[in-house]
Structure 1
């Protein structure tokens, strides 16, 4: 299989935890990080859409990233936060278990998702990184937060 890396997935990332696993999102998709803030549940939305929040006068949807990725549900604690991410032209609040740091990932430390599975099976993952001996799952935020995926018109 081709282990060549797309030049666009190297760079700076916000690393965070979902359960015990470390994930990362490109820093250009990160708008801000907030402690858990109150949001309003909205009926008849997909299970991963937890509601909406009013952030300085702007109403944005909130999703539970664990639920979206079919992982064990987020257990809220003092480290749980909402990261406001932007994809396309939309901002969305993403609930994560805890923030780690902003990291630089070199091209040599990333394996494309093509190197371990079929592309359509891993559409939410851009690649796997290795930082100081730890595995890092690099997310494709554009795919996760797409209008079609969120059923938002």
Structure 2
């Protein structure tokens, strides 16, 4: 079994594997970074750690006209020693899934969604953590 954290973004459901998630926090002030990519919202200071805050909607849908998102939570994810903070609307729930139930998508290397799974009558997009950290290293 695998534990996932399901959250909403613009009325759609997405999930991170919980092993990548360090913590979930409420929204907090950030400092903008000049000349940063559009999907970098800024930097947050979480108990003395400065972490890049990613506007997840801009990262997933860079061509969409970005409405003002009503984000309420920040999910801090960690890979090795690197941390990223993702703005999400709301954390919906945490649940266990069988990885065999994930419908793999035919994907290109840079795809941000690796698969789909149905949870509680909702189609949930499983986020590909590898591409998130890879994209951020540019």
State the TM bucket, normalised to the shorter chain.
0.7 to 0.9
User: For the structure 1 residues 74 and 89, does the alpha-carbon distance in structure 2 shift closer, same or farther, using more than 3 Å as the test?
Assistant: farther
Q: Distance in 2 between matches of 1:74 and 1:99?
A: 20
Alignment of 1:1-153 (within 5 A): 11-70=2-61, 73=66, 75-77=68-70, 80-114=72-106, 119-120=107-108, 123-146=111-134, 149-151=135-137
Gaps of 5+ in 2: none
Q: Distance in 1 between matches of 2:114 and 2:47?
A: 32
Gaps of 5+ in 1: 1-9
Greater Rg over alpha carbons, structure: 1
Tell me which protein shows more helix as a share of its residues: 1
The Cα shift of 1:111 comes to 0.5
The Cα shift of 1:103 comes to 1.0
SS at match of 1:43: coil
**Is the Cα contact below 8 Å between 1:110 and 1:128 reproduced in 2?**
yes
Q: Distance in 2 between matches of 1:88 and 1:142?
A: 12
**What is the TM-score with the length of structure 1 in the denominator?**
0.80
Report how many residues are paired: 136
The Cα shift of 1:151 comes to 4.2
**What is the TM-score with the length of structure 2 in the denominator?**
0.88
Aligned-residue Cα RMSD (Å) equals: 1.9
The 4+ residue runs of structure 1 with deviation greater than 6 A are: none
